[in-house]
Structure 1
Amino acid sequence: MVPHLVTALTGPINELEQRILDSTPAIERWFRLEWMEHTPPFYTAVDIRNAGFKLAPVHTNLFPGGWNNLTQQMLPLAVQAAQAAIEKICPEARNLLVIPQNHSTNTFYLANIAQLVRIFHMAGLNVRVGSIDPAIKSPKKIELPNGDTVTLEPVVRTKRRLGIKNFDPCTILLNNDLAAGTPGILEDLHEQYLLPPVHAGWSVRRKSNHLRSYEELSKRFGKLLGIDPWLINPMSTRAEGVNVADGRGIDVLTSHVDAMLTKVRRKYKEYGINEKPFVVVKSDTGSNSMPAITVRDVKEVEALTRKSRAKAGGAAQGVGADEVVIQEGVLTNERVHDGVAEPVVYMMDRYVVGGFYRVHAERSSDESLKSPGASFVPLAFSDSAHLPQHGAKPGASAPNRFYMYGVIGRLAMVAASYELEATDPDAEVYE
C-alpha cells in the first residue's frame, strides 16, 4: 500500500533536481573521492526539509533509532551496506555486540534494536544485545507487539574488553547516543572496535561543529553544481550564555535571532519568495536537552522563552543549556495523509539504504515534527527509490526526488565525517 504523497512539484526545487540529475556522474565521482580521503560514520540518519525553493538537512543523527521503519524491500540494501562496513573495519569479524539506550522499555525503540540484530545477522555475524544499564543484572527477554523478541543481557567488562557471558565480540555497535556522558565501562577498549566512537556522543558533540562542516561542504558542492549553496544549506549561528529555562542571555539571543531573520529575509527577497522567514532555536548539544523553538518575529523571543521555561524545566538544566544554535528555519512543503511530512534518509557506511517520512498532523510546515504525535510512513514510492530515472521530467518521478534527497543526505554524512575527524581526541595534530 503506497501512501498518498503531496509535494511541491513545481518551481525552483525542480530546477535543483534537474541540475542534480544532469550532474550525476560528477556528483558520484565527488563522493567517491571524498570517501577515499575520509571515513564515513558507521550509520547515519538525516532529517531533510523540502521547502519547494530550497532543500536542506536540518538534523544529522549518528546513533539512529527507527531502523524498524525501513520496509522489507529495503533490507537487502541495508545488509549489503552492513557487510561492506564490517568488512572494512574488521574483515574477520564473527561476533557483534549491540549496546542500546539505557532504561529502554519503549517497544518501538526495541523493535529498532531487533531490526538491527536482523540486519547484522543476515550480514553474517553472531549478534547479541548487551545492556550497560546497571538495572539489567540477568538476561531479560522482551516480547514485542510485532512478534519479535529482544534479549537484553548484562555486559561483562574485563581489563581491556567488553562482552557478555560466553560471548566475546570484536566489534561493538553503539545505539546509545551517550547524552548523559560516556560511562567508564566504554572507555579504554583498545582491543575492540567501538562504533560510532564515543566522541560522536551527545555529551561531546556539538551541532554547531556539524553545521560549520556542512556549510563549507555546501559551498564546494554548490560550485560543482553551479548553484547558490544557500539552496542546500540552512544558515546558522551559535550563541553562548543563553538559558531559556532561567531567562539568562535573552538580549544575546534576541540579537542573534534578529540578525538571522534579516539574513533570511534578504535571501527570500533575492529569490522572490513570499513566505514568512523564521528561525529555529535549539540546544547545541543533544536534541532532548531543550525543545526546539520556532521564532517568526524577534518580538516573540521574550514571550517564547517565558513559555518554554515550564517546558524546558529540568532538561534545560543539563549540559549545554548555555549553548544554543540559531538556525534558519526551512519550511516543509510535503504532505502525507493530510499531515505535514519530512523525509528521513538512512545510510550505513557510505550507502543510502532507505528512509521514511516523519508525519505530524498537528504541526504546521514551519514547526519541528520531532514531537509526540509524530508517525512514520514508509517512503511513498512503489518502485525503486535509489536509482535515478534519467528520462523523467523534474518533479514527476519519485525515484528522482528520493535520489536528490539521498544526495543531500550523503552531503550531511560527509560533513559528519569531517566533524568527527576534527573533534577526535586521539587524532594526531601537526603543527
Structure 2
Amino acid sequence: MIPHLTTALSGPLLDLERSILNAMPAIEHWLRGQWQEHAAPFYASVDLRNSGFKLAPVDTNLFPGGFNNLNPDFLPLCVQAAMAAIEKVCPEARGVLLVPENHTRNTFYLQNVAALTNILRLAGLNVRVGSLLPETTAARTIDLPNGQSIVLEPLRRKGNRLTVEGFDPCAVLLNNDLSAGVPEILKGLEQPVIPPLIAGWSTRRKSRHFTAYDQVAQAFAKLIGIDPWLINPYFATCGQINFKERRGEECLAAHVDEILKNVREKYREYGITEAPFAVVKADAGTYGMGVMMVRDASEVLELNRNQRKKMAVVKEGLEVHEVLVQEGVYTYESVDDAVAEPVIYMIDHFVVGGFYRVHTSRGKDENLNAPGMHFVPLAFETSCLTPDFTGSPDCPPNRFYAYSVVARLALVAAAIELEQYPTEPELAATVA
C-alpha cells in the first residue's frame, strides 16, 4: 500500500526520487563501504516525513517496538537479517534472553515482543523473555488479542551473567530503551548486551544523532549531486532549559527563530508557499512525549502552565533539561483521508519492511506519534529493496526504495553516533 501524496508540490521530490533511482549502483556501493567502516546497530526504526518537496528522517529508534506491524510476507527477510546480526555480535549464540519494556498492559507492544521472539526463534535461537518488573516473581503467561501468547519470567543475576530459571543465555537482547536509567542487574554483564547500554536514553541524545546524520547527509548529497537540505532537517539544541521554573526560554526562542529563518530562505529558494514550523522535543526520550510544534519564537515564551508541564517530563518521569529544536517537515501522505508517515524497520543493515503511522485527528504539520494513532493493516506491500526501473519515480516500488535509502542514511548516522559514546569517560561512567 502507498498513500496518496496530497500536494501539487511534487516537483522537487520527483527530482529527488529520480536522482536516487538513477544513482542506485553508486548508492549501494557507497552504503556497502559505510558498513565496512561502521558496525550497524542490531536493529532500528526510522520515522520519515514526505512533504512532497522534502523526504527526511525526524526520529531514529534503536529499540523498535512495532515488529508486529510489518507485512507477514517479509518474515523471511527479518529472519535472514537476524541471522546476520547475531553472527556479528555473538557467533556462538544458541540462546538469547529478550528484555522488553515494562508495558505489560500494552497488548500492542506485547504483540511486538511476540513477533520479535518468533523472528529470533526462526533464526535458530532459543529465546526466553525476562522481565525487569520487581513484581514479576514467577513465570506468567500473557494471552494476546491476536491469539499469540508470551511468557514473562523474572530475571536472575548469577555472578556476571543474566539468566532466567533453567536458562543461561549466550546474549541479552534489549527491547527496552532504558529511559528510567540502567538497572543494576544489567550492568557489568559478561554476556554481550545488544544494543549496548549506551544506546539507551539514559545516555543517548537526539542532537548527537542528527549531528552524525548531518555529516552523512552532506556526503551522500555530494555523491548523487543533490541539495542536502532535501533529505536533512535543520536543527539546534538548548541544553539549559527548565520548563517548570521558566529558565532557558530565551535560549530556546533564539534557536526557534534561527531555524525558522533558515527554513524560510529555503522555502523561497524552492518556491514553497507553506508556512515554516519548528518542532521542539526532548533531546532524550521516545513515545512522542515532550513534543510541541511552534510557528513563531514568541510561542515558547508564552507557554501556559499545562503546556510547560507537558514539556517538563517525559517517559518514566524523566525531567527535560535538554531539548532539540528541529525543522518541521510536513507530511503530505494520507490514507483514507487520514494523515500518514512511513516508518522503516531494519535489522543489522538490512531493510526488512515498514508501515505507515496513521492518525485520523492530526494534521500534516503535527506529531503523529500520539494517542489515537494506528498502524495495521497498513504494512508496505513491497520490501523497499526492489525499485522498478521501468516505472515512474514515484510509483510504489521506487518511492519505497527512496524511503529505504534515506532510512539507511539514518542508520549509518546511528552507527557513527554509537561509536562516539564509549570514548567519552563521563558517558561511559553512566553504564560502567
Q: TM-score if structure 1 supplies the norm length?
A: 0.94
CA-CA distance at 1:155 after TM superposition: 1.1
Match in the other structure for 1:409: 407
Match in the other structure for 2:84: 84
Match in the other structure for 2:169: 169
Conserved 8 A contact 2:355-2:380: no
Question: Which residues in structure 2 correspond to 1:23-172 (within 5 Å)?
Answer: 23-172=23-172
Conserved 8 A contact 1:285-1:320: no
Structure 2 distance, partners of 1:391, 1:179, is 46
Q: Once the two structures are superposed, what CA deviation does each residue of 1:179-227 show, in whole Å capped at 9, x if it has no partner?
A: 000011111112x110000000001101110010000110000000101
1:245 aligned partner, one-letter code: K
Q: Once the two structures are superposed, what CA deviation does each residue of 1:248-300 show, in whole Å capped at 9, x if it has no partner?
A: 22111111111111111111111111110000001111135952110012222
CA-CA distance at 1:5 after TM superposition: 3.9
Q: TM-score if structure 2 supplies the norm length?
A: 0.94
Match in the other structure for 1:278: 277
Q: Describe the shift of the 1:312–1:325 C-alpha distance in structure 2 as closer, same or farther (beyond 3 A).
A: closer
Does 2:327 correspond to 1:328? Answer: yes
1:409 aligned partner, one-letter code: A
Structure 2 distance, partners of 1:97, 1:79, is 17
Q: Describe the shift of the 1:161–1:194 C-alpha distance in structure 2 as closer, same or farther (beyond 3 A).
A: same
Conserved 8 A contact 1:49-1:332: yes
Q: Secondary structure at the match of 1:142?
A: strand
Q: Once the two structures are superposed, what CA deviation does each residue of 1:70-113 show, in whole Å capped at 9, x if it has no partner?
A: 12111111011001111222222110110011242211111000
Does 2:389 correspond to 1:424? Answer: no
Q: Secondary structure at the match of 1:224?
A: helix
Conserved 8 A contact 1:245-1:316: no
Q: Which runs of 5+ in 1 are unaligned?
A: none
**RMSD value over aligned CA atoms?**
1.9
Q: Secondary structure at the match of 1:46?
A: strand
Q: Describe the shift of the 1:342–1:164 C-alpha distance in structure 2 as closer, same or farther (beyond 3 A).
A: same
Q: Describe the shift of the 1:7–1:424 C-alpha distance in structure 2 as closer, same or farther (beyond 3 A).
A: farther
Q: Secondary structure at the match of 2:128?
A: strand
Q: Secondary structure at the match of 2:116?
A: helix
The percentage of aligned residue pairs carrying the same residue is 53
Structure 1 distance, partners of 2:229, 2:2, is 31
Match in the other structure for 2:339: 340
Q: Secondary structure at the match of 2:302?
A: helix
Q: Secondary structure at the match of 2:375?
A: strand
2:194 aligned partner, one-letter code: L
Question: Which residues in structure 2 correspond to 1:216-365 (within 5 Å)?
Answer: 216-287=215-286, 290-304=289-303, 306-312=305-311, 314-315=313-314, 319=318, 321-365=320-364
CA-CA distance at 1:126 after TM superposition: 0.8
Q: Secondary structure at the match of 1:117?
A: helix
Of the structure 1 ranges 15-24 and 384-393, higher mean CA displacement relative to structure 2 is found in 384-393
CA-CA distance at 1:4 after TM superposition: 5.5
Structure 2 distance, partners of 1:98, 1:233, is 34
CA-CA distance at 1:301 after TM superposition: 1.9
Conserved 8 A contact 1:244-1:305: no
CA-CA distance at 1:312 after TM superposition: 3.8
2:408 aligned partner, one-letter code: R
Question: Which residues in structure 2 correspond to 1:377-392 (within 5 Å)?
Answer: 377-379=376-378, 381-392=380-391
Conserved 8 A contact 1:247-1:306: no
1:386 aligned partner, one-letter code: L
Question: Which residues in structure 2 correspond to 1:200-219 (within 5 Å)?
Answer: 200-219=199-218
Structure 2 distance, partners of 1:85, 1:21, is 27
CA-CA distance at 1:3 after TM superposition: 7.3
Conserved 8 A contact 1:289-1:321: no
Structure 1 distance, partners of 2:84, 2:286, is 30
Q: Secondary structure at the match of 2:202?
A: coil
CA-CA distance at 1:349 after TM superposition: 0.2
Conserved 8 A contact 2:46-2:345: yes
CA-CA distance at 1:386 after TM superposition: 2.5
Structure 2 distance, partners of 1:47, 1:4, is 16
CA-CA distance at 1:425 after TM superposition: 5.1
Structure 1 distance, partners of 2:288, 2:337, is 30
Structure 2 distance, partners of 1:182, 1:289, is 21
Structure 2 distance, partners of 1:210, 1:120, is 28
2:345 aligned partner, one-letter code: Y
Conserved 8 A contact 1:142-1:150: yes
Conserved 8 A contact 2:71-2:379: no
2:340 aligned partner, one-letter code: A
CA-CA distance at 1:411 after TM superposition: 0.3
Conserved 8 A contact 2:288-2:370: no
Q: Once the two structures are superposed, what CA deviation does each residue of 1:10-59 show, in whole Å capped at 9, x if it has no partner?
A: 31101000000000000000110010111000000000000111110000
Q: Describe the shift of the 1:103–1:23 C-alpha distance in structure 2 as closer, same or farther (beyond 3 A).
A: closer
Conserved 8 A contact 2:285-2:314: no
Match in the other structure for 2:373: 374
Q: Describe the shift of the 1:231–1:92 C-alpha distance in structure 2 as closer, same or farther (beyond 3 A).
A: same
Q: Once the two structures are superposed, what CA deviation does each residue of 1:147-170 show, in whole Å capped at 9, x if it has no partner?
A: 000100011111111111111111
2:183 aligned partner, one-letter code: P
Conserved 8 A contact 2:242-2:312: no
CA-CA distance at 1:310 after TM superposition: 3.9
Conserved 8 A contact 2:43-2:346: yes
2:267 aligned partner, one-letter code: Y
Match in the other structure for 2:428: none
1:407 aligned partner, one-letter code: V
